[in-house]
Every structure is written in C-alpha cells, then in structure tokens.
Amino acid sequence: MARSAQPSKRARFGGPQVRGGVALIAVLGLTALIAACGVGKSAVAQGETFQFVSPGGKVVIEYNPPASRKPLRNFSGSDVASGNRISLGDFAGKIVVINIWASWCGPCIAESTQLEQAYAATKDKGVQFLGINFRDDRASAADFIANHHLTYPSIYDYSGQVMATWHAPISVVPTTLVIDRQHRAAAVFLRAVTTIDLLPVLDRLVAESTASTASTAAGAVSSPSGVPR
C-alpha cells in the first residue's frame, strides 16, 4: 500500500518502490505496450460513473455516441505548485483533459510540450487541462512544471487517492483522460499523447457543445406573439 506521507527522493523512479512495480509488470508480460513508464489495462464505462476496468488491452478508446458516456465522480487535491485546493468541480461546464504524470517518467517529459501546445490552442474554446502528479517527490514535480513551462494546474497525488475515484490504473504513466462539458469520459489514452492525438478529439467535443447550445437556443425561440414555441 502506498504511503500517505510525502516520499523521499528514493521513492522516485528507479528507487526500490518503483523498481518493484516495474518488476511486477514484467512478470505479467505487459511491458510491450506503447511508450509508457508503466503499462496496464484499458478502460471502459461501467455502472453509473466512469471506472477503469479491463476490456481487452486497448490503449486508445473513445466513447461515442455521447449518450453512452459515463460521468466522473468529483475529486480534489492540492496544487503541486501553490498548495491551493483544486477540484474537478472548479471546471464545471468545461471540457477537461486530465493527464497523469510524474517527473521520473521519460514519456511524460516528451509529451509535456505537446500537452502545453494543445492547451494553448484550445483554452479559449472552453478547454481546461489538469495534471495529476503521481508517486513523485513534490519538489521534483514543482521543478518539472517550472522547467517545462506548464501553465495549467496539477494535483499532487503521491498515494493515488485521487486516481482511485475512477479506478485509474496506477501502473500506466502517463495516462490521459478527456472528458466533455458534462464531465463524462469521452476518450482515454493509455500512453503518451501528442497534439495530433488530442486536437481532433477536442475539436469534436467543442463542436458537440456548439451544436447542443444551438439546439437549446432554437427551442427557446419565441413565436411572433411572444409565446414560446
């Protein structure tokens, strides 16, 4: 069981705790999956809220039509850099890209620039990015954010308690989850992502939101007599 206290630098990637996790993954024969620090199982929507389960080893899943999507439970934690409390509910009505990362993760370093570029391209369209920093030294995580010029917030979640609210696979770092404006899971990437991966998904979700708003507005149009149709 992961300790709740802030770890020493020995707990970072390459330390005894993480080496044990990597060994276990090797035993399970999962190390061949695409460019991730760890590997694990895919995700599907199950029950009333979204949860990660094991449907067959896919590493990229999209949930369509929108009616098939399941909402995430709200979660909260402290911001890596500021220590302020952040919750998913703070971004009500926004599309949210949730990225699970760690400073010791090579693919996380490679994808950080891609994430920031995607955020810059979409934040004015009602898209918010939110990192979840997992099994990391907090000072190292804060340095990572500063050194890679990341402008979106990240929740510090050494123990995985935040991730447990939707049963995120703790053996897969990085993982990216994209949720729509109703905070329903729309896409999952169980590997490092690029702008080429994210922008088409985000454009579709923005378009869904625009179409929904237009439909609502059309239904509210009044007749010439002033009586709603």
User: What ranges do the domains of the chain cover?
Assistant: 9-214
CATH top class, domain 9-214: alpha beta
- Beta-bridge partners for 133: 101, 156
Report the share of the chain in percent with pLDDT over 70.
70
Give the model's pLDDT for residue 58.
86
Q: pLDDT by residue (tens digit) across 70-111?
A: 999 999 999 999 999 999 999 999 999 999 999 999 999 999
Give the model's pLDDT for residue 29.
34
Residue 5 scores a pLDDT above 50: no
Give the model's pLDDT for residue 27.
30
Give the model's pLDDT for residue 212.
64
CB atoms within 10 A of CB 2: 15
Band of the pLDDT at 10, cuts 50, 70, 90? Answer: very low
For residues 43 and 124, the model is more confident at 124
- Is there a contact between 59 and 175 (Cβ–Cβ < 8 Å)? no
For residues 139 and 220, the model is more confident at 139
Q: pLDDT by residue (tens digit) across 39-81?
A: 444 454 455 778 766 557 788 989 899 999 999 999 999 999 9
Q: pLDDT by residue (tens digit) across 191-229?
A: 999 999 999 999 999 999 777 655 554 455 544 555 454
Closest CA to 99 of 19, 157, 40: 157
CB atoms within 10 A of CB 59: 19
DSSP class of residue 72? P
Residue 30 scores a pLDDT above 50: no
| Side-chain-facing half-sphere of 11: CA atoms under 13 Å | 18
Q: Can you give the length of the chain in residues?
A: 229
**pTM reported for the whole predicted model:** 0.75
Give the model's pLDDT for residue 219.
55
Q: Which residues contact 45 (CB under 8 A, 6 or more apart)?
A: 51, 63, 68, 69, 70, 185
Average the pLDDT over 163-190 and give the result: 90
Report the share of the chain in percent with pLDDT over 90.
59
Give the model's pLDDT for residue 106.
96
Average the pLDDT over 163-168 and give the result: 84
Q: Which residues of 27-55 are buried (b: 16+ CB within 10 A; e: fewer)?
A: eeebeebeebbbbbbbbbbeeeebbbeee
Give the model's pLDDT for residue 169.
72
Phi-psi region of 163 (alpha: psi -120 to 50; beta: other; left: phi over 0): alpha
Give the model's pLDDT for residue 168.
77
